[in-house]
Amino acid sequence: MNFISNAYAQGGAAGGGMEMIIMLAVFGLIFYFMIFRPQSKRVKEHKNLMASLSKGDEVLTNGGLVGKIAKITEDNDYVLLSLSEQSQVTIKKDFISAVLPKGSIQSL
């Protein structure tokens, strides 16, 4: 009482394999355009930000500290950040999240 012939059953399996390949390709494209590409763009922007830092820039850190760059070390990995006239903090350059417009510290 088998109503499905062997040839028809084998042909259906080949079509299912092609559908699986197409679906994987679509998921790959979705992954690339929604996850990988925006992340690589953010990394590139952050590297440009790190390269453009200079003494006197007012910056915001990932931890929420706002200060002015007093000194950049010779190996370019650390920054001496002046939070006020009395306090200075040394932080890793990678933890700077944004450069603020001039005069931002005075307006706080």
Q: What are the tens digits of pLDDT across the range 20-75?
A: 999 999 999 999 999 999 999 999 999 999 888 999 999 999 999 999 999 998 88
**In which element (H, E) is residue 78 found?**
strand 78-82
pTM over 0.95: no
- Calpha distance 76→63 (Å, rounded): 20
User: What number of other Cβ atoms are within 10 A of residue 84's Cβ?
Assistant: 9
